[in-house]
Amino acid sequence: MDISEDRKQFAEQLERAAEEQREGYRVFSDKSKPVHERLMGLKRAAALTDEDEVTEAVDIIRDREDDADLRATTLLYIAIEVSQNRDLIDLAIGLLRDSTEPAVVRLAALRVLQTSSFRAATFNPKRPEYLAALRTVIDEPNASLRQQALEILAQAKDEYAQRRLLEGLEDSSKALVPPEKAVQLLGYDVHAEHYPILRDMVQNPPSPEAKREAVRLLASDPTSKDLLADILKDKDERREVRNASASALQSLAPIEFEEQAKQIVLDDNEYDDLRATAMNALTLFADQEALSQDTELTRRVERLKDASPSRAVTRTADRFLRKQRKQRNRTIDPQSE
């Protein structure tokens, strides 16, 4: 078979694509063109990796007279170059820190820096400067910028971010983010002093979402075992909160949870999703040998498998019963596995 024709066609395609990119770049760099055309040109140019292209892109990013969206998009297009060049990291940190820059440019700088932070060899020496800039940004009026900076700091278990989040939970006038977001961010660190606040939030929730989030995070606080058990038992409680407490209790106190899970499976007045969660936990984590002795439980699960209108319940019931059968076979014939 003669492949020279295919090769020729492929080379032509490549050349057309390259020309398309060059044309895109020409439009992007032509300041006389309207912004929307330059943005389209940038998209056609695909990536700016050539040294001259990067230099020109940096000029556009630095040019405060130029359109903010264009500057931000240009910055995103040289993200790979930024991650390999400490001077460009400096530029991005400067943009992030500068409160006179438009939010869209600062958000782009944040995104590029966060991507760059994974290239440890180049980025690590810049880490202190980056963290200092993020700590400044958490007081910005722009909610998106503030929240993203807080998210990055909270994941790093940052002392200052935690301090400010706790301040906001204690005094809502100082809050940087809504309470449910604040507890979620504090939850990145099991060593933060947020458990008393979480317990208080469960008793006096500022919003239903905050309560669910607080219950979810109490999964790493052994002193909240009883509180979680009470929530799980409370049929007046919202089902997503009870579901969250089931997961939390299962992680924290599997033996105590097992008993409650059985009761939930046996109770025909329980929510389907909660019964499915309980059966799933029993299937995955409970002592199967002990469970196989509970004939009443097995009988009820068989009934659920055949009669429940909920697909989640029938599916988890089926899984539960299959595991039980396997357990019985193993008991009869220990070599069966």
Partner 1 sequence: MRVSERDMLASRPLDKYTPEETIAELVDAVGRSPERRDLLVQMLPERISLYEGRSANATIRMRGYILAAFEQTGLPEAALPYVFEELENGRDAYLVAGAAKALRGLDTPTSRVVPFLFKAVENIRYVDDALTFERYKPRWPITNYTTALTEIFRTFGWLGAQAKSALPDLEALREERRDEFSRPIRAEIEYAIDRIRSDGRVAHACCSALPANPGLAVHSLQKEHCKGASISDIELEDQGGNTLTYETFFSRKPSIVVFFYTRCDNPNKCSLTVTKLAKLQKAIGEEQLEGLLRTAAITYDPEYDLPPRLKAYGENRGVTFSDDNRMFRARTEFRGLQEHFQLGVNFTGSTVNRHRIELFVLDSRGEIAVTFTRLQWDIQEVLNQAKALLSHGQGVG
Angstrom CA distances, 292 to 22, 288, 321, 334, stand at: 70, 6, 10, 15
| DSSP state at residue 138 | T
**With CB under 8 A as the contact rule, which of the stretches 31-39, 194-202, 205-213, 301-309 interacts with partner 1?**
194-202
Q: Is residue 49 within 8 Å of 80, Cβ to Cβ?
A: yes
And the tokens for 84? 């390999």
Q: State the Cα–Cα distance between residues 197 and 281, nearest whole angstrom.
A: 28
Does the footprint of partner 1 cover residue 121 (CB under 8 A)? Answer: yes
Q: How far is the CB of 202 from partner 1 (least distance, A)?
A: 14
What residue ranges in 183-337 does DSSP mark as E strands?
Answer: none
Q: Which distant-in-sequence residues (6+ apart) come within 8 Å of 86 by Cβ?
A: 122, 125, 126
Q: Is residue 57 helix, strand or coil?
A: helix
Does the footprint of partner 1 cover residue 195 (CB under 8 A)? Answer: yes
| DSSP state at residue 223 | G
Q: At what angle do helices 254-266 and 239-252 cross, to 10 degrees?
A: 140
Which DSSP string do the residues of 140-196 spell out, in sequence order?
-S-HHHHHHHHHHHHHTT-HHHHHHHHHHHH-GGG-SS-HHHHHHHHTT-TTSS-HH
Which residue lies nearer to partner 1 by CB, 26 or 163?
A: 163
Range 308-337, binding partner 1 (CB under 8 A): none
Site string for partner 1, 22-61 (x = CB under 8 A): ----------------------------------------
Does the footprint of partner 1 cover residue 106 (CB under 8 A)? Answer: no
Does the footprint of partner 1 cover residue 132 (CB under 8 A)? Answer: yes
Does the footprint of partner 1 cover residue 247 (CB under 8 A)? Answer: no
Does the footprint of partner 1 cover residue 250 (CB under 8 A)? Answer: no
Which residue lies nearer to partner 1 by CB, 67 or 81?
A: 81
**With CB under 8 A as the contact rule, which of the stretches 8-16, 33-41, 156-164, 239-247 interacts with partner 1?**
156-164
Site string for partner 1, 208-227 (x = CB under 8 A): ------------xxxx-x--
Q: For tokens 């202190």, name the residue.
A: 128
Q: How far is the CB of 139 from partner 1 (least distance, A)?
A: 8
Interface residue list for partner 1 (CB under 8 A): 86, 97, 120-121, 124-129, 131-132, 135-136, 138-139, 157, 159-160, 162-163, 189-196, 220-223, 225, 252, 254
